[in-house]
Amino acid sequence: MTWLLPDAVLTPTGLEEGLAVQIVDDRIAQVRPFSVGDEAERLRGKLLLPGFVNAHSHAFQRALRGHVQHGTADGRDSFWTWREAMYGLAETLNPDAVERIATLAFREMLAAGYTTVGEFHYLHHQPNGDPYDDPEELSLRIVSAARVAGIRLVLLYVAYARAGHGLAPNPRQRRFIHPSSDAVLAAVERLRAIGARTGFDVGLAPHSVRACPADWLRDFSTYKGIIHAHVDEQPAEVQASLAEYGRRPVEVYAEAGILSPRFSAVHLTHPDDREIDLFARHGGSVVACPTTELDLGDGFLPIQRLDGRVPVCIGSDSHASIDPFAELRAIEWHARALSGHRNVVQPAACSDPADGLAVRLLQMGSQNGAKALGVDTGTLEPGRFADIIAVDASRLEFAHARLLPAIVFNGSPAAVSDVWVGGRRVKTSVRR
């Protein structure tokens, strides 16, 4: 049993002083006023927040950092030219390299304040496309990396069938592709059984309507766990869907029976109003990855059209940056740039309305992500996993500031002083 006594705790209604958090085993047991006589670890100058949830990660892409920030000879660099560089990296990685890079990415996430990651994992096979002797070799390397780093893992196992409608097979995608939807579902069930024994969760991730045809999506509609997919990331993806089906991607998912409260659309940077209406009716979530979306030229999440209708959470995707504070404030700043107004995101109901916007954005960073990944975390309430971060409020950037808005709009991973995952303090380091 452990008691933590900070200066304040973030509750669903805002910051509250004088509260202590009791941890028993891996769960929060109590959050209540501290009583003299209780033995507690005093965290002076610090605030306790729920750990951030990274709902969308491609860990191996962390190895691209710094290597793709130069243009093509014709000056027309784009998402699609970046994708070729990513494929080139994917072709070179053996299992040891996959595990090393994932461990690095997960450690950086923990240092930044992420305590859970949804790993959208599509590097499955050997470079020539043949399965490993253990067909789940690379999935289990991701599991091992998460265990070594100490982060909570939801393995989102990606289904990939083809290069796209009417396109010839792309040899650079051989490591991603399965022969059938049944093969994907069988792999997911094998991994779920392993995860139940060893402590990680598994979800299903049809990569996109470009990579998964409608018959595969219909087969996946019977899956009872969480489902994530790339949706409307690039205009070309939307145009390809219209050419193949006469429908936009969200409509294709809806007709296949995929949309539900268990479904999360990653990016959704180019939806039309009908797609948003469909999404709102079916109750899914959107995973925004603003730093990657900026880096790749994807576009901007239209939060002002989603707000109040569709829950939004965050991911670091390609790991151009691993910084949950940057992701959260970008959601609001993008909305300001698009609308010409300030304070666009609807504030949360909280004890002090001046903190409402900050509380709402922090909820996107924690409890909305926990819902999207189906994990019992995201708030500091009894019964939840004790996934907690401490923010050092004594830092210079917070001096003479209103704390919660300053944490969101001026905070950075450097402000995260302590991290607990399942009640265990995790060693984090900003050094190599």
pLDDT band of residue 432 (cuts 50, 70, 90) is low
**What's the pLDDT score for residue 427?**
75
The CA distance from 125 to 7, in Å, is 49
Looking at the 3D structure of the chain, how many domains does it have? Answer: 2
| Residues comprising the chain, all counted | 432
Name the β-bridge partners of 15: 10
- pTM (two decimals): 0.97
Among 288, 323, 345, which residue terminates a domain? 345
Same-domain status, 109 and 124:
yes
Of 345, 363, 396, the last residue of a domain is 345
Same domain, 259 and 144: yes
339 and 415 in a single domain? The answer is: no
Same domain, 38 and 88: no
Q: In whole angstroms, what is the distance from residue 402 CA to residue 247 CA?
A: 47
Is 373 a member of any domain?
Answer: no
Confirm whether 311 is domain-assigned. yes
pLDDT digits (tens, 9 = 90+) for 139-154: 999 999 999 999 999 9
* 52-102 residue pLDDT tens: 999 999 999 999 999 988 877 777 889 989 899 999 999 999 999 999 999
Contacts 24+ apart (CB under 8 A), 31-36: 31/380, 31/381, 31/382, 34/3, 34/5
Q: State whether 205 and 86 are in the same domain.
A: yes
- Mean pLDDT is lowest, of 34-38, 343-347, 385-389, for 34-38
Whether pLDDT at 171 is above 70: yes
Average pLDDT rounded to a whole number, residues 121-145? 97
In a shared domain, residues 102 and 137: yes
The angle subtended at Cα 116 by Cα 112 and Cα 119, nearest 5°, is 105
Alpha carbon distances (Å) from 186 to 84, 180, 228, 429 = 30, 10, 17, 38
CATH number assigned to the domain comprising residue 56: 3.20.20.140
Identify the DSSP state of 385: B
CB 201 within 8 A of CB 147: no
Enumerate the active-site residues. 267, 317
What is the model's pLDDT at position 253? Answer: 97
CA dist., res. 23 & res. 91, Å (int): 44
Specify whether 197 is located in the same domain as 212: yes
Considering the domain architecture, whether residues 391 and 258 belong to the same structural domain is answered as no
Question: Which residues neighbour 191 within 8 Å (Cβ) at sequence distance 6 or greater?
Answer: 136, 139, 155, 157, 202
Q: Which domain holds residue 99?
A: 52-345
pLDDT of 127: 96
Tell me if 353 is assigned to some domain.
no
Indicate the residue type of 280: A
Q: Per-residue pLDDT for 316 more than 80?
A: yes
Q: What is the pLDDT of residue 430?
A: 57
Q: Based on the domain organization, do 16 and 68 belong to the same domain?
A: no
| Domain membership flag for residue 363 | no
Residues 75 and 25 in one domain: no
Residues 45 and 56 in one domain: no
Q: Which residue has the tokens 């959107």?
A: 286
pLDDT at position 199 is 97
